[in-house]
């Protein structure tokens, strides 16, 4: 009999503790409109932190010189004539992207600047761009890689939270590295 009464006491105790917790959470709803509790404040701050950043506006494409890469320098570096240059400005970027076109209107060099929330995210994005087949690049920016494939080269390096990718219509890691170094030197530090 004492076993049953001990069991009953234990269950009754759990019921009382559980009811006390429920009644205190219910009593929060009986507060007046002017009062506040710590729970809504915590919820509000966690909601603010989880809100994604605003979506940037549409890119603005314009003809004109690349602000951080001289056309004459590009022509000498890659050995091709450049017919025109497009800049693509996206809100939130430190500088516009640049596309340098050959005289036949095919893209010779494309520079893409992509800011990330932190350096690790930028490095992961760089590695995703060039894949595991890329040669590692540790002497330009913070980290990255260069991938040479038939008819093109892609260099993706980071400087803090900024990903800089250089795409060329030639198979030359040396030329891509020279262009990437020049771009990083011309940009303001992150």
- What are the residue ranges spanned by the domains of the chain? 60-186
Q: Which CATH topology does 60-186 take? A: Protein Transport Mog1p; Chain A (3.40.1000)
Coil, strand or helix at 140: coil
Distance of CA 130 to the CA centre of its chain: 16
pLDDT for the residue numbered 188: 82
- Residue closest to 130 by CA, chosen among 167, 180, 185, 95: 167
pLDDT for the residue numbered 41: 44
Instruction: Please classify residue 168 by burial: count the beta carbons closer than 10 Å to its beta carbon, then call 0-12 exposed, 13-18 middle and 19+ buried.
Output: buried
pTM above 0.75, yes or no: no
Residues (pLDDT < 70) of the chain are 1-56, 190
- Residue closest to 139 by CA, chosen among 88, 93, 173: 173
At 98, which helix (H) or strand (E)?
Answer: strand 97-102
């Amino acid at each position: 009999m004492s076993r049953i009464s001990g069991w009953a006491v234990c269950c009754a105790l759990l019921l009382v503790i559980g009811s006390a917790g429920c009644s205190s959470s219910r009593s929060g709803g009986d507060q007046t409109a002017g009062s506040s509790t710590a729970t809504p404040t915590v919820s509000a701050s966690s909601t603010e932190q989880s809100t994604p950043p605003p979506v940037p506006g549409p890119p603005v494409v314009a003809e004109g010189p690349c602000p951080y890469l001289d056309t004459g320098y590009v022509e000498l570096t890659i050995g091709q004539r450049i017919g025109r240059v497009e800049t693509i400005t996206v809100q939130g970027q430190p500088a516009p992207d640049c596309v340098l076109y050959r005289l036949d209107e095919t893209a010779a060099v494309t520079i893409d600047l992509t800011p990330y929330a932190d350096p690790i995210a930028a490095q992961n994005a760089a590695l995703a761009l060039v894949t595991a087949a890329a040669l590692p690049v540790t002497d330009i920016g913070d980290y990255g890689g260069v991938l040479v494939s038939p008819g093109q080269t892609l260099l993706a390096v980071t400087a803090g939270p900024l990903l800089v990718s250089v795409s060329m219509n030639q198979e030359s890691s040396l030329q891509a590295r020279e262009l990437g170094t020049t771009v990083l030197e011309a940009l303001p530090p992150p």
